[in-house]
Chains A and B, each alone.
Chain A
Amino acid sequence: MKPRILALGDGALTLEFGDRIDQTLNAKVMAARDALAALNLEGITDVVPTWRSLTVHFDPLRLDRDRLAEELLHCAEAPPQESAQAMRWLIPVVFGGESGPDIAAVAQATGRSEASVIETLCATELRVFLIGFLPGFPYLGELPDWLRLPRLKSPRAAVPANSLAIAGAQAAIYPWQSPGGWHLLGRTPLRLFDVDNATRPALLAPGDAVRFTPIDHNEFERLAAAVATGEIDESEWRAK
């Protein structure tokens, strides 16, 4: 499928690369996002990447719609490369127990041990394909084939904030307590969304690379306390 432009009303355009969840499509989306950012066009308010598309919200009285469409089709040709905007993160997670109540069921459903589930998850570099559903909610992928499970038959009414969860080819971390139907494997002490940080309120942004690293419960408590007091900030979690 060739990239194409779709109208989302008179104040937004969507550059569509395809209709699947596909890492190669997402890499093109991120390349187009970076190419568009480099143009510094006046009149753009928001640029929203998804797995397969880039939606640009703009003011058509300040930026000509046809010109934007043309520029976007040029941006679509940008070669996928390591994004200048993308950051790498190493995210500490306490697995199992109360923090990850579904880990035994996931091990059983996949026919592996709990240790093997954790080891595989922590060995896999995941990409942030999209932030959506809730402010700062990252969709991460892709999981190895054998770790892909359908959602829970009955979603939980309240998933605790900071839970690491998986469903299908994707993982996510809940920035807020919310209803949720994904399998809960653990929790991170990190703050995923900080309303007081106006430059980058969400820890993770589309295109970022993420790996998880296991910690024990004591370390979780120690880090959670240090995050709460501001003793350590998010830059601690940037992968070296």
Chain B
Amino acid sequence: MIEILDAALPVSFQDGGRPGYRHLGVPLSGALDAEWLAIANALAGNPAATVALEIRLRGPRLRALRPLTLALAGEFSARIEDAAGQSRPAANWRSHALTENEVFDCGFLRSGIGYLAVHGGFDLPTVLGSRSTYARAGIGGIDGRALRAGDRIGAGAGEPPTPMRLPQPPQIGDGPLRVIAGPQREYFTDAAWAKFIDAEFTVSREADRMGLRLDGPQLEHDPTLGADIVSDGVAPGAIQVPGDGRPIVLLADCQTVGGYPKIATVIAADLPRLAHALPGHSLRFVEVDLEQALAARRRAATELTACIASILADRPFDLDALYAANLIDGVIDAQHAT
């Protein structure tokens, strides 16, 4: 069990999302950066898509009401306060064992987003196959709302695992975001497409889990087709352009259908990067084909597997090294003996 002491900014619970209900208007939801969620969970000794806290800008302060192990993926400035009021820093990209009544303060985030996972997961009801918070319909997480002070959530079941660390934190890719043209590329003039590919866009203040509205050059629609379509399916990554010519990149909580033409769609391998794009962040786009998108998807999966495989036990004394040293000493001793 944990108790939330302070949650100044909206924090949601997210897991692998809620697929299978989009025909009934239920968004996919789930972690904006599924790779970092998987890393946080691996550090905490959980399966990759276990529900965790998704945190932007500043994370909550919480108290462990029983011993538990939690893990951070992201650039937090976290600290652990013990019962005597002594505080020590808690490093990122590793798990931390808390004793009963210790307080964990996530602090501010230097990365755009971060995840706090707890060993054994958070004990929350599954709603339509997922524990992800979807605030607009008030489902998932804690009654579909943001975390607040006083919340108590079951957590920390099972034996505490060995603390783990990730030696080499993952890099957030840079360079232009890769897109596949369409599905409504034809609704835009060639001049608008050229601008879309050449120009730099900036994430505006209108940015949440549903999407990012971008500032930058206006993208003109083909005047014979206009800026409205009869709604069709949308997906996270789709870049829709309403009549004002300002693109919106859709994210995990986007609606299931939309009535604006979509000039292009960010490929799955680059979706995690959008999670880190805060207001003011600049973005560029580059067109790729489906083969390249598929290759990128495979590469991302391989890299994530390798990243998780590199996680090490974080022991104060490296027992493996000690054993190895003893063995060598033994050999040397034996040589001396002969």
Contacts and interface: CB of A to CB of B under 8 A. Distances in A.
A10 B293 contact: yes
A8 interface: yes
Interface residues on B, range: 35 or more
B231 A201 contact: no
Given A16-B232, A48-B257, A201 B183 contact: no
B243 interface: no
Contact of A60 (B24, B181, B238, B294): B294
A53 B230 CA distance: 10
Interface in B104-140: 127-129, 136-139
A14 B293 contact: no
Contact of B230 (A21, A46, A133): A21
Interface stretch (A109-117, A134-142, A148-156, A211-219): A134-142
B301 interface: yes
B22 A130 contact: no
Nearest to B183: A6
B202 to A, nearest CB: 23
Given A57-B19, A61-B301, A132-B255, A201 B232 contact: no
A201 B21 contact: yes
Contacts of B290: 7, 10, 65
Interface in B256-299: 256-257, 262, 265-268, 290, 293-294, 297-298
Nearest to A65: B290
Contact of A9 (B25, B139, B232, B235): B235
26 contacts: A7-B265, A7-B290, A8-B238, A8-B265, A9-B235, A9-B266, A10-B268, A10-B290, A11-B268, A14-B232, A45-B19, A46-B22, A46-B23, A48-B257, A50-B257, A51-B231, A54-B233, A61-B297, A65-B294, A132-B25, A132-B255, A132-B256, A132-B257, A133-B25, A134-B137, A135-B137
A49 interface: yes
Given A132-B25, A135-B25, A202-B25, A12 B233 contact: yes
Contacts of B22: 46, 48, 57
A206 interface: yes
Contacts of A60: 294, 297
Interface of A: 6-12, 14, 16, 19-21, 45-55, 57, 60-61, 65, 130-137, 176, 193, 195, 198, 201-202, 205-206
Given A49-B23, A61-B297, A14 B233 contact: yes
Given A201-B21, A205-B23, A133 B233 contact: no
B98 interface: no
Contacts of A53: 232-233
Interface of B: 19-28, 127-129, 136-139, 180-184, 229-235, 237-238, 255-257, 262, 265-268, 290, 293-294, 297-298, 301
Contacts of B25: 131-137, 202
Contacts of B127: 195
Q: Which of B24, B181, B266, B293: most chain A Cβ within 10 A?
A: B24
Contacts of B233: 8, 12, 14, 48, 50, 53-55, 57
Given A48-B257, A134-B136, A134-B137, A7 B180 contact: yes
A136 B294 contact: no
